[in-house]
């Protein structure tokens, strides 16, 4: 029989979760450079030493928030992808759901904008690889085998899709009409993917 977590362990997790909640609001409102650990500590009601214990510093805290959001969004999208019987529909669903996520200011601010200065490309890539990007990329080999993405490799398809998605999400941040631009991007991705379907010879 497994042991229940001890009270101290539960308290540590509650403290960590509290910091993550407050920090998410702080980074979303002020960005990375202007975010204040003093404000975070004050709003959390916790000791500054607890923040250092769990996260090391502001950068460590940001990375923890980033990873938390990425895993949360991955769980949401993965469930919808898994409802499909074929990889092509699952991939199209992932793209659409990602664009929907980009409609949320907190997601755009932390994941697409502020992470550029707070984290290295390698650090961001490692989180992407274990979440949505990894799942989407796992679909590509079988799709290429079935005739999709003719002339492309797994890597070129990955760059094509993930690069376009990330840039589309970032440009939504400064859009005057975000809903309209979201629809434009959706149609653009539909056209791009349509061109990547296998050529079907008329019967």
Cβ-proximal residues to 115 (8 Å cutoff; 6+ apart), any chain: 32, 62, 66, 124
More confident residue, 10 or 25: 25
**Model's pTM, two decimal places?**
0.89
164-191 mean pLDDT: 94
Residue 18, SS3 per DSSP: helix
Kindly report the backbone phi and psi dihedral angles of residue 113, in degrees, each rounded to the nearest multiple of 5, phi listed first: -105, -65
**Residue 12 confidence class, pLDDT cut points 50, 70, 90:** confident
Is pLDDT of 196 > 70? yes
Query: What pLDDT score does 130 carry?
Result: 94
Q: Based on the number of CB atoms within 10 Å of its own CB, is 114 exposed (0-12), middle (13-18) or buried (19 or more)?
A: buried
Task: Say how far apart CA 122 and CA 124 lie, in whole Å.
Answer: 5
Query: What pLDDT score does 10 carry?
Result: 66
Q: For the chain, list the domains and their CATH numbers.
A: 7-195 (1.10.357.10)
pLDDT tens for each residue of 53-72 = 999 999 999 999 999 999 99
Are 123 and 170 within 8 A, CB to CB? no
190-198 mean pLDDT: 94
Q: Based on the number of CB atoms within 10 Å of its own CB, is 126 exposed (0-12), middle (13-18) or buried (19 or more)?
A: middle
106-129 mean pLDDT: 95
Least Cα distance to 167 among 149, 188, 151 occurs for 188
Is pLDDT of 8 > 90? no
Residue count (the chain): 203
Query: What pLDDT score does 1 carry?
Result: 42
Computed over every residue of the chain, the mean pLDDT equals 92
């Amino acid at each position: 029989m497994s042991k229940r977590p001890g009270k101290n362990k539960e308290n540590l997790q509650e403290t960590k979760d509290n910091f993550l909640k407050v920090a998410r609001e702080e980074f979303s409102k002020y960005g990375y450079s202007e975010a204040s650990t003093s404000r975070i500590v004050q709003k959390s009601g916790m000791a500054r030493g607890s923040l250092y214990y769990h996260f090391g510093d502001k950068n460590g805290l940001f990375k923890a928030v980033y990873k938390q959001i990425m895993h949360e969004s991955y769980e949401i999208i993965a469930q919808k992808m898994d409802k499909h019987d074929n990889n092509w529909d699952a991939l199209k669903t992932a793209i659409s759901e990602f664009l929907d996520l980009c409609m949320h200011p907190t997601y755009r601010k932390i994941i697409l904008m502020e992470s550029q200065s707070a984290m290295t490309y390698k650090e961001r890539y490692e989180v992407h690889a274990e979440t949505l990007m990894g799942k989407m990329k796992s679909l590509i080999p079988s799709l290429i085998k079935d005739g999709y993405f003719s002339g492309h490799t797994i890597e070129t398809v990955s760059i094509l899709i993930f690069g376009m998605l990330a840039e589309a999400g970032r440009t939504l941040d400064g859009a005057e009409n975000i809903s309209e631009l979201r629809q434009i991007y959706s149609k653009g991705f539909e056209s791009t993917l349509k061109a990547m379907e296998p050529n079907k010879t008329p019967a």
